[in-house]
Structure 1
Amino acid sequence: MNCYRYQVGGSLESNALSYVERACDGELYTALKRGEFCYVLNSRQMGKSSLLVRTSHRLRQEGFKCSVVDLTNIGSENITPLQWYKGLVTDLLSGLKLSQKINFRAWWQEQEDISLLQKLSRFIAEVLLVEFKQEQIVIFIDEIDSILTLNFPVDDFFALIRFCYNQRAVNSEYNRLTFAIFGVATPSDLIQDKRRTPFNIGKSIHLEGFILDNIQPLADGLIIKDSDTKEIMRQVLKWTNGQPFLTHKLCQLIFDLYQSQTSEIPSGQEAIWVESIVKKYIINRWEFQDEPQHLRTIRDRILLNEEIAARNLEIYQAILLGEDIISDDSRETIELLLSGLVVNSQGKFKVKNLIYQEVFDLAWVTRQIEHLRPYAQNLKAWIVSNQKDSSYLLRGTALETALAWSYNKKLTDQDYRFLSASQELAKREIEKDLALEKQARQIEQEKSQFALESAKLAQHFLAQARKIAKKNAQLRLGKRWVGLITLIVASAVIILRLAGFFQGMEWAMLDRFFQARPSAKIDPRIVIVAIDELHIQKTGQYPMSDMVLAQALQTLKSYNPKAIGLDLYRDLPVEPGSEELTQLYKTTPNLIGVEKGVGSPIAPPPVLAELQQVGLADQVLDGDGKVRRALLSIRRNGKLSLNLGLRLALSYLETQGITPKYLPNNRIQIGKALIVPFESNFGGYVGADAGGYQILLNYYGTQKQFQAISITDVLEKKVHPDAVRNRIVLIGATAESINDFFQTPYSSKVFDNPQQMPGVVVHANIASQILNGALDGRPMLQVWSPGVEWMWILLSCGVGTTLSWYFQSLKLLVVITTAMGGTLTIIAYLAFLLGWWIPIIPPLVGLIVAAFSLPIVIAKQLEIIQLSQTVKLLIAFTEGQSTAGQIAIEYLKQAESKENQILIDKILREKS
């Protein structure tokens, strides 16, 4: 007894004591021995797998070569045809114990040029039938229904099985090969392509439930004292009708409960005792007690396919109600059979057993049908009313939803009658609505005809009124309007000017003036010693060593320049040559070094700092990143620091006997040049940072306007002394790799000018501006005071308004305004050449806006006059034609703005 056990789910072992032999055991065994192809297709948990295990064991005992292929082991999800066929062959090799004899990987690669099906066919012919030359071979294929979920067809596989069967007539070797197929399916499911020959070979093995005559192996496990075991088994079969899974489960429950209780089962109480167990442990709360899963599998099988679920339930409901349901080949009846819920008894369906009947009763069926239908409540009420109360029928969106849900589904007859009645009701309501719509349309046509005639008359009246009003309307504004518009436009432009709206445009115009100005000749007073790319590549070092710099300075010093500006940061020594360079600093009084004084400071060479021979290298950048101003000096800790260019210019001028004279308002007179400090709102600037002492840069030109010599030539003494004598020498980097470059007014692709300017050239322009102003009277860049600027803007606006008042033609006004705009631009450019930066964008804007504002005002006033006359004329024309008059007024309103619509209503109120 210790080895005895019931099998609740899964397969029994071949020697299991609880195995019950049925008629199908002998039938399958005999058929396979005869070499017949067999298939065992039935519902789940009917003992198919146990039958397979038992039969294959018996055949092996008699010398048959058997291989069991469980298709669920190969898989059905996310699998390719190659993986599926390869897995099939691998299982066959393993099942027939050929894995050690056959090099599967090599064999498979040898067949790479043929199809997967041909590989399997060749495997059977060249491997199985060759390796087993005398033995009978039986291939058991279990869980055949798993092919239904593959994402590719395997019809060819079953066609191959048919081929093996048909090949027996050609090749006698195939008589030794037999297939047995097990699963939950029908033969018609196996080949899904309906254009191909159905799978109609082999013998069907029918599985019956257990009966009292063959159930003794199960009774052997129930040793219950003083109880009638045979009666217990009779009661078990009464509830299960021999269904293998349920029978094993109930026997196990009986055995476990008997073992756990001390009281004995009274004789004659077996039926009551078994019934109580069934109801308590199987039927009641079955969805929670169904472990291992069985009843839920049946439920899911019936309800899974939504397209036929309703029809499945209807057929099953009819069976429960005792109706005779004839067996046919419909999909619904097949699904009911495959679920195991019903059986085919003499051509008619009946519920398989009492447990199923209790679990899946009429109440359960009703709940499922109601859950499936989106219109269950309406249908139920309609049936209760004997299908007479049309208020429960579906309409509108509800009907559309129901029809969409029912599409492609096989429903109950009640469903079809309900939906048909709903459609018929909808059809009648549509016909009724169409009749009412037709009647309303006739009335509307009559109204439309009358309205059309009135509309035509209204359009005629409106056209006449507009024509006359347009002809009579005339207007010429008085001269006071010229002054008013001039003041309004000028005020608006000045406000925009003070807000900085025109700042960027003013800078851009100033840049264009610099670029358009004729190029000056090379400045004779300044020479630039350039540290270029050629020098850096030649020496392979930057910054250059103190030794090299000392040699260059010594050579330049020997040429007697007026001053030397070193635009290089040398706050730290660069060996070798530090002592030589320091000694040279001490003995060169006209040498000026640089420091950075704004932001993050960079110190000058210590010796030059002690000798006060230092200038600022800082540049002032505008908002667009360009240098248009020069920072001449800053005061730090009570000490005044001067710009490098200014210091060089002052050193030069000092040799000419010219020194600065300080005037009121921070102005400085240097020779012929009057320097005026930059302020926050200078010229086109608005709210600029005017820290330190700044001036507007009146550039002398680009690098082309200054003589430049290479520091390499200086070191090699290839420079003539006259090129340096009595001049200002500026030493600085022009190599692009040093990145000492700045955006300037010349930084534009227009006119093919250079994009950026080296810092040393900017310092040369600052020095040149001071020198040429002081010695030659070249003007500094000056601006008007705010009052003069405002008068200039007011004058431009006045010119624009006056032109508009005199010239009524729009085309002529455009031409003249364009000419005046060009004149203003020329005036500004000529003023720039004379050293004045005067506003150009604000006057141009004022000129254009003022010129076209007056016509707009005149047009608006004319529009109001014309509209007023049109309304008055319409009132006069439509007297006695009220409908046409109202339509004409509405047409007029629709064509006008909201403002004019209010004006029309006001005129109508005054007339009424």
Structure 2
Amino acid sequence: NLLRIIIYFLINSVFITAIPTGLKFLEVLQNWDLQAFDLMMRSRSVLINEDPDPRLLLVTVGDADIAAQRRRGEYLKGTSVSDQTLNKVLEKLQQHQPRAIGLDIYRDFPAESANLQNRFQQTDNLVGVCKGSDATINTSGIEPPPEIPQSRLGFSDFVHDADGVVRRHLLFMNQEPTSPCPASYSLSLQLALRYLEAEGIKPKFTPTGDFQIGNVNFPLLKPRTGGYQGIDTNGGQILLNYRSSKRIAEQVSLTQLLSAPINPNAIKNKIILIGVTAKGDFPDYWATPYSTELDKQMSGVLVQAHMVSQILSAVLDGRPLLRSWNPFAEVMWIWVWSVAGGLLAWQMRHSWTRLLIFVVVGCGILYIFCFGLFIQGYWVPFVPSALALIATAAMTAISKE
């Protein structure tokens, strides 16, 4: 009799495990899985506050900086920083020997100032940006600054999910034949590699096709990874493990940089990112796991800073990159929680109230396990496991009635 109960119990749990696993495979649960991912990212930022990344300095161009240039009569020519101001900024930064400068501002036109033209050509640690074209969504792309050679270009493209949230980090890609952007590396990867090169650390592809920087393997996304099912993984994409800090790095506005004395140590051997935080002119804001509300979205230059920091922190500090388990391990994980739900129902006898309480507690424990693994760098399925736990508990309880 006991053997029959055990066999029935195991068959029941396997059958129920197959249902959320199938729903997951069919992308039915993807949106919920991504919401759980965001919740864990926000929960982590509440419990763990990382310090700002000391290797970065952000030079931000806000609405006040743009207005100040216009008051001085400077011609912006459809961009956020005039030739005169940009030349002064680059000159001041170079005096203090930054390791790399990322100009996260589109300039698809030649500089009118000869001084700026020369500075673009001769500043070997300056990386400019362009945007790749995408025929699938009819995006034509944006050309790079014509004075900056291809070896010093990075693309600014972000990969966002259907809900507009940036959860992935595009490291490299093959541009379309008609793309005006020739860069095959992202701005963030270009800047990080230039920083790491000074430490004697270089990237490589392993014989198995994995991407490595130093001894750190970057787990490139597959179409089915974690909660993702059937996504487009063209190029080299990884999950973006945002830094859990109130500020990603020290920041100084464009006006402050030009008008106030700057501590040389704030610039020397740092990565400097210059980008727009203005909301009125040239807005560049993105939904992130931290917030999708329009007035709380993150500026593009801050997202770039999180991406640069993710690479540097993984290689130099051992900070975990986010990865997922293989499909078999995920199915076994879901089955374990299905069994847990059945055991809970078996122990509760005929008390539905107690069963409900214990199922809620069980889902809470499951979330704590998933959250703990998330902190360690593993994104494991919470939603399918919770469904398996609840369904097996309900089925077992009903069969005992």
Could you list the runs of 5+ residues in structure 1 that have no partner in the other structure?
1-475, 860-912
| Aligned position for 1:580 | 115
Instruction: Answer whether contact 1:496 1:502 (CA < 8 A) is retained.
Output: yes
Match of 1:674 among 183, 194, 217: 217
Q: Which amino acid aligns with 1:729?
A: I
- TM-score using structure 2 length: 0.90
Match of 1:770 among 311, 325, 328: 311
| Aligned position for 2:69 | 539
3-state SS in 2 of match to 1:694: strand
Q: Equivalents in 1 of 2:305, 2:248: separation in Å? A: 10
Instruction: Answer whether contact 2:52 2:245 (CA < 8 A) is retained.
Output: no
Deviation of 1:806 (Å): 2.7
Q: Equivalents in 2 of 1:622, 1:643: separation in Å? A: 18
Instruction: Answer whether contact 2:273 2:301 (CA < 8 A) is retained.
Output: yes
Deviations 1:267-297 (A, max 9, x none): xxxxxxxxxxxxxxxxxxxxxxxxxxxxxxx
| Aligned position for 1:621 | 160
- Superposed CA RMSD in Å reads 2.0
3-state SS in 2 of match to 1:478: helix
Deviation of 1:748 (Å): 4.9
Deviations 1:131-166 (A, max 9, x none): xxxxxxxxxxxxxxxxxxxxxxxxxxxxxxxxxxxx
Instruction: Answer whether contact 1:562 1:590 (CA < 8 A) is retained.
Output: yes
3-state SS in 2 of match to 1:857: helix
Deviations 1:230-266 (A, max 9, x none): xxxxxxxxxxxxxxxxxxxxxxxxxxxxxxxxxxxxx
| Aligned position for 1:745 | 289
Provide closer, same or farther for how the CA distance between residues 647 and 567 of structure 1 changes in structure 2, counting only shifts above 3 A: same
Deviation of 1:598 (Å): 3.4
Q: Equivalents in 2 of 1:693, 1:802: separation in Å? A: 43
| Aligned position for 1:556 | 93
Deviation of 1:830 (Å): 0.6
| Aligned position for 1:783 | 324
Match of 1:735 among 275, 278, 283: 278
| Aligned position for 1:411 | none
Q: Equivalents in 2 of 1:758, 1:498: separation in Å? A: 34
Trace 1:311-710 onto structure 2 (pairs within 5 A): 478-517=5-44, 518-540=48-70, 541=76, 542-573=79-110, 575=112, 577=113, 579-599=114-134, 600-610=140-150, 612-636=151-175, 641-701=184-244, 704-710=247-253
| Aligned position for 1:82 | none
Q: Equivalents in 2 of 1:856, 1:786: separation in Å? A: 30
Deviation of 1:810 (Å): 2.1
User: Quick one: percent identity of the two aligned structures?
Assistant: 35
Deviation of 1:672 (Å): 4.5
Q: Equivalents in 1 of 2:15, 2:200: separation in Å? A: 54
Q: Equivalents in 2 of 1:813, 1:508: separation in Å? A: 26
Q: Equivalents in 2 of 1:845, 1:836: separation in Å? A: 20
Q: Equivalents in 1 of 2:223, 2:287: separation in Å? A: 21
Q: Equivalents in 2 of 1:548, 1:560: separation in Å? A: 19
| Aligned position for 2:344 | 803
| Aligned position for 2:368 | 826
Q: Equivalents in 2 of 1:509, 1:811: separation in Å? A: 27
Structure (1 or 2) with the greater helix fraction? 1
Provide closer, same or farther for how the CA distance between residues 804 and 781 of structure 1 changes in structure 2, counting only shifts above 3 A: same
Deviation of 1:696 (Å): 0.6
Deviations 1:395-444 (A, max 9, x none): xxxxxxxxxxxxxxxxxxxxxxxxxxxxxxxxxxxxxxxxxxxxxxxxxx
Deviations 1:326-384 (A, max 9, x none): xxxxxxxxxxxxxxxxxxxxxxxxxxxxxxxxxxxxxxxxxxxxxxxxxxxxxxxxxxx
Q: Equivalents in 2 of 1:833, 1:603: separation in Å? A: 39
| Aligned position for 2:73 | none
Instruction: Answer whether contact 2:133 2:175 (CA < 8 A) is retained.
Output: no
Q: Equivalents in 1 of 2:49, 2:207: separation in Å? A: 35
Deviation of 1:775 (Å): 0.5
The number of residue pairs the alignment matches comes to: 378
3-state SS in 2 of match to 1:530: strand
| Aligned position for 2:269 | 726
Instruction: Answer whether contact 1:552 1:714 (CA < 8 A) is retained.
Output: yes
Match of 1:711 among 230, 247, 254: 254
Q: Equivalents in 1 of 2:368, 2:348: separation in Å? A: 23
3-state SS in 2 of match to 1:583: helix
Q: Equivalents in 1 of 2:215, 2:54: separation in Å? A: 18
Q: Equivalents in 1 of 2:338, 2:194: separation in Å? A: 49
| Aligned position for 2:397 | 855
Instruction: Answer whether contact 1:666 1:677 (CA < 8 A) is retained.
Output: no
Deviations 1:34-92 (A, max 9, x none): xxxxxxxxxxxxxxxxxxxxxxxxxxxxxxxxxxxxxxxxxxxxxxxxxxxxxxxxxxx
Q: Equivalents in 2 of 1:838, 1:672: separation in Å? A: 25
Q: Equivalents in 2 of 1:819, 1:477: separation in Å? A: 29
Q: Which amino acid aligns with 2:174?
A: R
